[in-house]
Structure 1
Amino acid sequence: MGGGEDKGGVPVPGRACGPCSLCCILPDIDELDKPANVVCRHCVPGGGCLSYAVRPQTCRDFLCLWRTEPGLAAHWDPAASHMMIYVQGRQTTVLVDPAHPAIWQREPYFGELRQRAAEAKRNGGYLIVYVGDEVTLVD
């Protein structure tokens, strides 16, 4: 994924992708020449990957924070929040489903994103939100 690697994440027991396919839709995936916000040609939304056994390493390595961060509350399930969060280096990225562009600005999401951004800043990082072509640095 063009910026979606979150290597080393260990899945939280009991959390699965379920019907969520946002990681196959929202990010760009360089190895597949897939632009952001376009359904991957191998994806069956809500049904998985048609090329799961031979998917690129980037796809194999990726798990969003919903899958790897036990402290992330239930309302952050991407299927419910319409957002996908991941960390790459110092950057925390939130990809928002363009069909729900304002959801990240609603509570409890906005307050929690501001807290996460403040924590990232204390550690030399930052948090950005992508909604389609719009990019917002959360302060």
Structure 2
Amino acid sequence: SCTMCCSALEIAELKKPAGPLCGNCRVGGGCKIYSERPQVCRDFECEWLTRRDLPRQLRPDLVGTILMEDADSDEYRAVCAPEKPMAWRHPLVFAHLLALAKSGRTVVAKAGLLSWRIYASGEWGPTV
């Protein structure tokens, strides 16, 4: 029933920019073109789906943040819902991101065109 990836993420194959809801999305009901959806949609799985150790409170539509591995880099990302650009600062989300930064991962939070790097020290700042 979570459809946050259908709004927060860009889907070039559908000419859908990050932000607006995909025209094929039924809120709370999934994808209208599920059996014919683009390969990028078939391949995408957020961390909440793949990591069974994450608490229910980190479900993207509940906390306003999609936790994900970036396929094009070695970054771990928190992509915020357009209407909640600072959702990555939620205590549960930030604690998760900080733990990953402390483990040596490059951790980035994104909100639209803005992005912040989270450091192992707990500090954070804009990316360049």
Question: Considering the TM-score relative to the shorter chain, is it more than 0.5?
Answer: yes
Q: CA deviation at 1:72?
A: 1.3
Is the contact made by 2:75 and 2:106 (CA closer than 8 Å) also made in structure 1? yes
Task: List per-residue Cα deviations over 1:81-138 (Å, max 9, x = no partner).
Answer: 111111135111111112222322131221221111222xx2xx41111112211111
- The alignment yields a C-alpha RMSD, in angstroms, of 1.5
Is residue 128 from structure 1 mapped to residue 112 from structure 2 by the alignment? Answer: no
- Counterpart of 1:66 in structure 2 is 48
Is residue 100 from structure 1 mapped to residue 80 from structure 2 by the alignment? Answer: no
- The one-letter code matched in structure 2 to 1:41 is G
Q: CA deviation at 1:40?
A: 1.1
Q: Which runs of 5+ in 1 are unaligned?
A: 1-17
Query: C-alpha distance in 1, partners of 2:101/2:12?
Result: 27
**SS of the counterpart of 1:21?**
coil
User: TM-score normalised to the size of structure 2?
Assistant: 0.83
Q: Which runs of 5+ in 2 are unaligned?
A: 120-128
Q: 1 or 2 for the larger relative contact order (CA 8 Å, sep ≥6)?
A: 1
Equivalences for residues 1-139 of structure 1 within 5 A: 18=1, 20-87=2-69, 88=71, 89-119=73-103, 122=104, 125-139=105-119
Identity of aligned pairs, percent? Answer: 30
Is the contact made by 2:109 and 2:115 (CA closer than 8 Å) also made in structure 1? yes
Task: List per-residue Cα deviations over 1:51-106 (Å, max 9, x = no partner).
Answer: 11110111111111000012212211112111111113511111111222232213
User: TM-score normalised to the size of structure 1?
Assistant: 0.77
